[in-house]
Amino acid sequence: MKKTPVIDLGRCTECAGCIEIAPEVFRYNSATGMMEVADLLRYPEDLVDEAIKNCPEDCVSWEIDH
């Protein structure tokens, strides 16, 4: 089972709060003008949970692949 953080880009306001919490996971793509999730083999669960909790738009969640 793999857990990957995903961002609902329709709701994201690019406030960069998630980058402050987990800069190795979340980043701003200046070419698309949108946030994106880095392609990692394993994501730091605690930090992503923290980013989920603190996202003002409530638009970060885990996607679970079985």
Give the binding site for ligand SF4 (CB under 6 A): 7, 12-18, 26, 35, 55-57, 59-60
Please name the amino acid found at residue 10.
G
CB of 39 to ligand SF4, least distance (A): 17
Nearer to ligand SF4, 48 or 60 (CB): 60
Nearer to ligand SF4, 2 or 16 (CB): 16
CB of 65 to ligand SF4, least distance (A): 20
Distance CA 15, CA 35 (A): 9
Residue 21 tokens, joined: 């919490």
The full length of the chain comes to: 66
CB of 27 to ligand SF4, least distance (A): 10
Q: Which residues contact 15 (CB under 8 A, 6 or more apart)?
A: 56, 57
